[in-house]
Homo-oligomer: A and B are copies of this chain.
Amino acid sequence: MINEFQLIERLKFLIPRSLQGRFPIGDDAAILPTKGGKCFLFTTDVIVEGIDFRIRGKERASPEQIGHKALAVNLSDIAAMGGKPLAFVAAIGIPKRFSQAWIERVARGMISLARQFKICWVGGDISRSDKFFVSIALLGEGETREIVSRKGAKPGDLIYVTGKLGGSIQRKHLVFTPRIREGRYLAGGIHPNAMIDLSDGFIQDLGHILSSSHVGARVTLDQIPISEAARDRAKGSEKKALMFALSDGEDFELLFTVARNKSERLEKSWARQFPAIPLTRVGEITFRSGRIEWARSGKSVSKLWFRKKGFAHF
């Protein structure tokens, strides 16, 4: 059985550095520098029936929601870099039994989100397949000096997260609004040192920032913003709810680190700009490379306290 992260590491290793572009592979989107300090951002994400959404049963997605999610997960990657999305292409795999009307509803879900963010749908491909899938590639742009990657976190930085975490599987993963505006606001104003979108779950995605930045983190568990959906799922157990918030995938919130001296400005301006979206300081970056220390009620707790691993897309 292939491990997703191992395979990605292995493929990155196989691709000669000279073929990876100016910036090596490994962020939410690739950075392609152009002229005048600008750059293009380029990303792809595929969603597959039975893995990323269901079309039958209690947890089934509507075709509009599938279209929405297919585009939204790509937008979230551009958001995590602080970029502005521009245009996308979509390759769609369609099983024989699917009707044209159903496919059109998927397209409507994509079009509706594209309109919201004023991006263009410029091309595509369709093919037969056994399971329905939508593979989107999205092009964005930004000022190169503003783009935020996973790898700039510095010891002493404060760690912030937008929104509330956990339980996304109940509904949010199908209907979430990608944090494009918030990502652009952060990149243009406060300029975080590192940023990522929460797709694999807080623990794993924080781990991606730490390993890319060669730093560690101290997380204050009392501060983790737990969603109502995570609490519902936990049926009254606060510990379970916290566990869901830390390990459930597909929150598609932003996780970022900011130099300590910017925190006051960040918190004040955020509350003015995005009054409806919680912003929570959940910890700080440390020197202890790759290591996460967990604190609860002022005391250290073992990582063994968490049982569940992050969400596996694979």
Complex Cα distance, B14 from A19, in Å, reads 37
Residue in B closest to A13 when the chains form the complex, CB atoms:
B104
Pick out which of these stretches binds chain B: A42-50, A233-241, A285-293, A301-309.
A42-50
Check if A124 is an interface residue, CB within 8 A of chain B. yes
Interface residues on A, range: 35 or more
> Known contacts A20-B120, A130-B131, A139-B139; can you find 10 more A-B pairs with CB under 8 A?
A2-B99, A8-B126, A14-B108, A20-B121, A30-B122, A35-B35, A40-B40, A43-B123, A44-B91, A44-B137
CB-based contact B96/A30 at 8 Å: no
Check if A129 is an interface residue, CB within 8 A of chain B. yes
Check if A21 is an interface residue, CB within 8 A of chain B. yes
CB-based contact A45/B133 at 8 Å: no
Determine the main DSSP class of A at the interface with B. Answer: mixed
Check if A221 is an interface residue, CB within 8 A of chain B. no
Within 8 A of B (CB), among A209-254: none
CB-based contact B7/A126 at 8 Å: yes
A107 and B11 contact, Cβ closer than 8 Å, known pairs A89-B30, A115-B19: yes
Quote the shortest CB–CB distance from A111 to chain B (angstroms): 6
- State which of B21, B104, B126 has its C-beta within 8 Å of the C-beta of A314: B126
Complex Cα distance, B122 from A115, in Å, reads 27
Check if A4 is an interface residue, CB within 8 A of chain B. yes
Residue in B closest to A95 when the chains form the complex, CB atoms:
B130
CB-based contact A48/B93 at 8 Å: yes
Check if A295 is an interface residue, CB within 8 A of chain B. no
CB-based contact A127/B19 at 8 Å: no
CB-based contact A10/B123 at 8 Å: no
Q: Mind listing 17 A-B residue pairs with CB under 8 Å? A: A2-B103, A10-B100, A10-B104, A14-B104, A16-B115, A20-B122, A42-B87, A43-B89, A44-B91, A44-B135, A46-B91, A46-B93, A50-B130, A51-B129, A91-B91, A91-B137, A127-B314
Residue in B closest to A21 when the chains form the complex, CB atoms:
B120
A122 and B42 contact, Cβ closer than 8 Å, known pairs A2-B98, A137-B89: yes
Quote the shortest CB–CB distance from A32 to chain B (angstroms): 6
Check if A264 is an interface residue, CB within 8 A of chain B. no
Check if A296 is an interface residue, CB within 8 A of chain B. no
Complex Cα distance, B91 from A89, in Å, reads 13
Complex Cα distance, B6 from A46, in Å, reads 24
Complex Cα distance, B16 from A114, in Å, reads 10
Quote the shortest CB–CB distance from A287 to chain B (angstroms): 30
